[in-house]
């Protein structure tokens, strides 16, 4: 662990990154889907998220979901011409392949938008999101603890989400029959990828350290914007 900290320190000294990240812009694709471009370079989230891990997570894992989704929907005219969020809202609860392929494409697309280098931006939510978190969970620290405990209790591959149901923030885990966006149940705005491919290459079994590091690379200004503009209004965030 000490060795890893030293390596992390060297990486962060060696990389003199700017805070430049692309403006949020959804692809809004319908019918056929493409892998979205990363809104920043692969080394942007270092030292917490190693560039090589981010690269493979994007060009291998995320691309698989996009390819599988395209192959799958081509086979059934019911799915022709729908947007990604419509596919999930309308069919994510009844078709497990849609939940998996469209969900995987959506989950990862959203994840890239909500991350930021740890030296840039605010370290916690402000404005309406900050206030709503305080009123629901007591404080940001209590929200963080509840979310982290949920993640640590979670067994296997999946995601942890903060989402909005009827104007109220909830913490949910991924559960195949209970995908928050499927059926328009709960509108996600913050997601943590707990699949092994998300961290194992760098953190091995130390999920706790991975989760601690993930909190350091949240783009709170972006998350606030997506919360206010979409999730709080009962709308799926377009990607
Ligand atoms: C396409 O649909 C047919 C008939 O339902 C099915 O047998 C086949 O496995 C499907 N192919 C894919 C790629 O889903
Ligand atoms: C196409 O998708 C619809 C909606 O999920 C489903 O009801 C139908 O059985 C599917 N058709 C085939 C051939 O798989
Ligand atoms: C995407 O997130 C939803 C919500 O937590 C989850 O149910 C689903 O399993 C995830 N899909 C994939 C492929 O990770
Ligand atoms: Fe992933």
Closest by alpha carbon to 169, among 227, 108, 215? 227
Query: How does strand 187-193 pair with strand 168-173?
Result: unpaired
pLDDT: is 104 or 2 the higher one?
104
Residue % of the chain over a pLDDT of 70: 90
- Tell me which H or E stretch contains 193: strand 187-193
Closest by alpha carbon to 217, among 192, 183, 181? 192
pTM for this prediction: 0.88
Mean of pLDDT values over 43-49: 95
Average pLDDT, the chain: 90
Say yes or no to pLDDT of 21 above 60: yes
Find out whether 169 and 136 touch, Cβ atoms under 8 Å: yes
How confident is residue 174, by pLDDT bands cut at 50, 70 and 90? confident
Q: Which atom of ligand 1 is nearest to the CA of 97?
A: 14
In angstroms, what is the span from residue 231 Cα to ligand 2's centroid? 29
pLDDT: is 6 or 196 the higher one?
196
Find out whether 189 and 227 touch, Cβ atoms under 8 Å: yes
Q: In this structure, what is the dihedral angle of CA atoms 72, 36, 24, 199, given to the nearest 10 degrees?
A: 90
Q: Where are the alpha helices (DSSP H) in the chain?
A: 2-14, 51-56, 63-74, 84-91, 96-113, 127-137, 140-153, 200-203, 207-216, 220-229
Q: Which atom of ligand 2 is nearest to the CA of 77?
A: 1
Strand, helix or coil for residue 238: coil
Question: What ligand is nearest to the CA atom of residue 94?
Answer: 2
Determine the residue of 68, 72, 75 to mutate for testing ligand 1's pocket, defined as the one with the most ligand atoms within 8 A of the Cβ atom.
75
Mean of pLDDT values over 199-221: 92
Question: What ligand is nearest to the CA atom of residue 75?
Answer: 1
How confident is residue 204, by pLDDT bands cut at 50, 70 and 90? confident
Spatial neighbors of 166 by CB under 8 A, at least 6 apart, are none
Find out whether 237 and 188 touch, Cβ atoms under 8 Å: yes
């Amino acid at each position: 662990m000490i060795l890893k900290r030293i390596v992390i320190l060297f990486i962060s000294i060696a990389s003199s990154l700017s805070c430049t990240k692309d403006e949020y812009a959804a692809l809004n694709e319908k019918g056929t889907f493409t892998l979205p471009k990363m809104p920043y370079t692969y080394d942007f989230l270092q030292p917490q998220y190693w560039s090589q891990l981010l690269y493979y997570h994007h060009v291998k894992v995320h691309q698989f979901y996009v390819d599988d989704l395209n192959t799958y929907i081509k086979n059934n005219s019911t799915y022709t011409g729908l947007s990604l969020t419509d596919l999930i809202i309308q069919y994510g609860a009844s078709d497990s392949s849609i939940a998996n392929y469209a969900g995987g494409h959506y989950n990862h697309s959203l994840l890239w938008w909500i991350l930021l280098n740890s030296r840039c931006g605010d370290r916690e939510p402000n404005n309406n999101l900050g206030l709503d978190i305080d009123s629901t969970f007591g404080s940001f620290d209590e929200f963080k603890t509840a979310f982290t405990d949920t993640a640590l209790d979670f067994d296997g591959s999946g995601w942890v989400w903060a989402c909005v149901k009827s104007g109220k923030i909830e913490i949910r885990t991924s559960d195949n029959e209970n995908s928050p966006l499927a059926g328009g149940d709960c509108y996600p705005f913050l997601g943590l990828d707990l699949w092994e491919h998300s961290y194992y290459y760098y953190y091995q079994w130390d999920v706790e350290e991975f989760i601690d590091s993930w909190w350091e690379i949240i783009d709170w200004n972006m998350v606030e914007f997506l919360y206010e503009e979409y999730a709080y209004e009962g709308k799926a965030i377009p990607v």
